[in-house]
Amino acid sequence: MDRESRTVAVPVEGGALAVEVVTAASAPVLAVHGVTSNRRLWNWLRAEAPDLSLVLPDLRGRAGSFAVAGPSSLRQHAEDLVRVLDALGHDRVDVCGMSMGGFVAVELATRRPDRVRGLVLVDGGLPMTVPPGLTRETVAAAFAPQLERVSRRWADVGEYLAYFTRANPLLDPADPLLLDCLDHDLTDGRVMLSRAAVLSDAADVFFGDSRWQEITVPTELVCAEWGVGADTPPAYSDDALAAFRAALPTLRPPRRLAGADHAATIMTHSGAAVVGVALRDLPA
């Protein structure tokens, strides 16, 4: 299927977001990446669902939007995304968010329900159990492994790829889509990722006031069997999923991805295919 792709700069408070717009057969879907990621996180969804029209922003403090100044938070991201929809002339859209992007999607859907038609949440968006010992004061220490990449200069994207796949053992180091995603992080050997934005957003995910029980639109949840690597505790237990369904009438039966961890829910062809089905299953 033929698709057109263009990148636009959308003015927001503190600068301009880099937004890739992919035009295909469907109505537009706004796709929101995770806390340390970028818009190429959706490479696999583009491959598995070529019929989908996608709006793909780099969130402030990341990749093409690294230079956007000012504080970062779930609410600020939601406000930025309203600016994106306004700039592109989109009234209401389906929104797909992965990990922290799911929390941004929920923030958008509850603060501006007039702009969101349906939600697909990928291993995020609904409250996660706070890891033992994690507090607002210890977020920096907890995220030190993820932020190690910021303090280093990488010889090339291959070196960065080797580092990244050691931390994400279920991803395929020979996958060209992964190489492209990681290459989008880099400028002159540096990862374009704001430490301040990551820590502020992470604290908001775990300790902010979520309004998830106010979601009024059809919602799909795709979640992993494991956390990071095989046989690790998932972000969402079966008991938690049952509690969410009891409390949120708009939440459809969750889709548990067997053999996938957090990253593999979207950074693999098999995970992205399920996310594509979930998007197509939202009411038109």
The β-bridge partners of 53 are 28
Q: What is the DSSP letter of 51?
A: T
Nearest to 121 by CA among 278, 240, 247, 259: 278
- Determine the length of the chain: 284
Tokens of 124: 């995020």
Task: Quote the CA–CA distance of 172 and 202 in Å, as a whole number.
Answer: 26
C-alpha to C-alpha distance for 180 and 159, rounded to whole angstroms = 13
Task: Assess contact for 145 and 205: CB atoms under 8 A.
Answer: no
Q: How far apart are the first and last CA of the chain?
A: 21
Q: CA-to-CA distance for 46 and 60, rounded, in angstroms?
A: 22
Alpha carbon separation from 241 to 96, 134, 253, 255 (Å, rounded) = 18, 22, 9, 10
The one-letter amino acid at 219: T
Structural domains of the chain, with CATH: 4-129+209-281 (3.40.50.1820)
Return the pLDDT at 1: 42
Radius of gyration of the chain from its Cα atoms, rounded to whole angstroms: 17
Q: Are 145 and 228 in contact (CB under 8 A)?
A: no
* 284 residues of the chain, pLDDT tens digit each: 457 899 999 999 999 999 999 999 999 999 999 999 999 999 999 999 999 999 999 999 999 999 999 999 999 999 999 999 999 999 999 999 999 999 999 999 999 999 999 999 999 999 998 888 899 999 999 899 889 999 999 999 999 999 999 999 999 999 999 999 999 999 999 999 999 999 999 999 999 999 999 999 999 999 999 999 999 999 999 999 999 999 999 999 999 999 999 999 999 999 999 999 999 999 98
CA 240, CA 118: separation in Å to the nearest integer? 21
**What residues contact 229, with CB distance under 8 A and at least 6 apart?**
169, 170, 261
Give the pLDDT of residue 3.
73
DSSP code of residue 90: -
Among the listed residues 200, 89, 81, the one whose alpha carbon sits nearest the alpha carbon of residue 140: 200
* Stated pTM of the model: 0.97
Rounded CA separation 141/249 (Å): 37
